[in-house]
């Protein structure tokens, strides 16, 4: 079984957590530059104008120096240049801008698959006993430092999905003043305790809407920027939006998605009824054919017994009665074989048919 246990550092550094306090940024700038696409144009015009005015002051000084007392010969030009400097400064329109930087903490979303396929017990890679895929995820989230490692820089949220998306809890980012707490106290703040982790992540969904869940995660109004999604799933998406479409949308949002595959790399072994069909109406004394398709994966060379049972559909307490049975053999690793059962209704009434496969003990579903 492959379960993500370590190497969380790369993902934890996806986005830097922001400060929790607001900060004022004081900026002094020349407002006139906002009116020009190219600042060099303004500087050129300004230089030409200043040079022209200085030449005028020099010409005026030479013209009046013979008529002005010696004490005023330097004072008047200085006053004129000071006036020119004031005009230039007024033209440039200096402004003081105060920007208030209010930062919010980003969050990392742990998204866990809770569809029924997560209840599969895969072959272990060592001598340890088998464990379900869901139990492997629970072990990773409770026994590894994953959550606390992410909390060094981000808020951490946990959500589950099958045919629907559900937000479970959110933990705040650790602060410098935060004192170490006992693991049980931290879990109590989120409503998750050691006794109900299995309950919260219990596989129960009939569908795996992976694409829908990712879309919900991107648009979920949690109130802070999404730094990334850590997805725990066996990858068996079987309904809803195509996940790759949502992955492209996540790329546009600059939200990385890290998929942690849970389960064995070996082909699964499963035998199931893919289809069962029978006529809607049959008259007494007539023989009719019930058709079925049996899908087997990983059972090449196996022969199993398939039983057709019937019970009264109007009675909830009626027990199913065996009306036909056959043997079926598979010679390929992945194979779909048709079956036909010829039956003759014994009495008038509505019947509910049930097809039962005596699957091998190593069937994973």
Residues of the chain with CATH 3.40.50.410: 9-20+104-261
- The average pLDDT across 237-241 equals 82
pLDDT above 70: percentage of residues in the chain: 78
Look at the domain 270-357 and name its fold.
Immunoglobulin-like (2.60.40)
**Under 8 Å between Cβ of 211 and 229:** no
- The average pLDDT across 338-362 equals 83
What's residue 126's pLDDT?
57
Residue 293, beta-bridge partner list: 275, 338
- The model's pLDDT over 75-119, given as tens digits with 9 standing for 90+, comes to 777 777 788 777 777 777 777 878 777 667 788 889 999 888 888
Q: Report the mean per-residue pLDDT for the chain.
A: 77
Across 257-329, the runs of DSSP E, i.e. the strands, are: 257-261, 270-277, 288-297, 303-312, 321-329
- The average pLDDT across 273-287 equals 84
* Residues in Cβ contact with 155 at an 8 Å cutoff, skipping those fewer than 6 apart: 105, 106, 107, 108, 170, 171, 172, 173, 224
pTM above 0.85, yes or no: no
**CATH superfamily entry for domain 9-20+104-261:** von Willebrand factor, type A domain (3.40.50.410)
- Considering only CA atoms, which of 147, 156, 121 is closest in space to residue 136? 121
Whole-Å CA distances, 299 to 235, 273, 305: 22, 14, 13
**Under 8 Å between Cβ of 122 and 261:** no
Half-sphere exposure of 361 (CA within 13 A, CB side): 0
Backbone angles phi and psi of 76, in degrees to 5: -65, -45
Residues of the chain with CATH 2.60.40.10: 270-357
Question: Lowest-pLDDT range, 11-15, 188-192, 211-215, 232-236?
Answer: 11-15
Question: Lowest-pLDDT range, 62-66, 215-219, 247-251?
Answer: 62-66
Q: Which residue has the higher pLDDT, 190 or 322?
A: 322
In this structure, what DSSP letter does residue 314 have? T
- Considering only CA atoms, which of 353, 190, 358, 198 is closest in space to residue 271? 358
Cα distance between residue 113 and residue 121, in whole Å: 15
- The average pLDDT across 137-161 equals 85
Residue 190 has pLDDT above 70, yes or no: no
Residue 32 has pLDDT above 80, yes or no: no
- The model's pLDDT over 301-328, given as tens digits with 9 standing for 90+, comes to 888 999 998 888 777 777 888 888 999 9
Residue 155, beta-bridge partner list: 107
Residue 218 has pLDDT above 80, yes or no: yes
Q: Are strands 94-101 and 23-30 parallel, antiparallel or unpaired?
A: antiparallel
- The average pLDDT across 221-249 equals 84
Highest averaged pLDDT of the listed ranges 2-6, 125-129, 203-207: 203-207
What's residue 12's pLDDT?
39
């Amino acid at each position: 079984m492959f379960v993500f246990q370590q190497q969380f550092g790369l993902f934890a550094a996806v986005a830097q957590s922001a400060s929790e306090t607001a900060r004022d940024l004081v900026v002094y700038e020349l407002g006139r530059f906002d009116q020009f696409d190219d600042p060099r144009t303004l500087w050129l015009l300004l230089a030409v104008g200043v040079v022209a005015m200085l030449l005028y002051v020099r010409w005026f000084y030479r013209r009046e120096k013979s008529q002005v007392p010696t004490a005023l010969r330097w004072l008047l030009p200085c006053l004129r240049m000071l006036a020119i400097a004031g005009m230039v400064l007024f033209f440039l329109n200096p402004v003081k801008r105060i920007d208030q930087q209010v930062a919010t903490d980003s969050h990392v979303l742990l998204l866990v698959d809770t569809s029924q396929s997560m209840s599969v017990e895969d072959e272990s890679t060592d001598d340890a006993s088998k464990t379900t895929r869901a139990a492997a995820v629970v072990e990773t989230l409770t026994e590894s430092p994953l959550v606390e490692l992410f909390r060094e820089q981000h808020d951490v949220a946990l959500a589950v999905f099958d045919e629907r998306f559900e937000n479970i809890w959110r933990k705040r980012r650790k602060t410098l003043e935060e004192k170490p707490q006992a693991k049980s106290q931290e879990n109590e703040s989120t409503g998750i305790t050691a006794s109900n982790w299995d309950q919260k992540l219990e596989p129960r969904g009939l569908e795996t809407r992976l694409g829908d869940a990712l879309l919900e995660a991107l648009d979920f109004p949690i109130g802070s920027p999404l730094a990334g999604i850590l997805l725990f799933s066996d990858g068996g998406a079987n309904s809803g939006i195509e996940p790759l479409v949502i992955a492209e949308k996540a790329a546009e949002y600059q939200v990385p998605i890290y998929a942690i595959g849970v389960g064995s790399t070996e082909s699964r072994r499963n035998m199931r009824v893919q289809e069962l069909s029978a006529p809607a109406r049959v008259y007494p004394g007539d023989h009719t054919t019930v058709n079925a398709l049996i899908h087997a994966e990983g059972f090449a060379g196996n022969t199993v017994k398939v039983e057709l049972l019937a019970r009264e559909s109007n009675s909830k307490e009626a027990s199913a009665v065996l009306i036909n049975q056959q043997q079926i053999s598979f010679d390929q690793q992945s194979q779909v074989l048709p079956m036909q059962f010829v039956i003759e209704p014994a009495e008038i009434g509505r019947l509910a048919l049930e097809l039962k496969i005596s699957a091998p003990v190593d069937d994973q579903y």
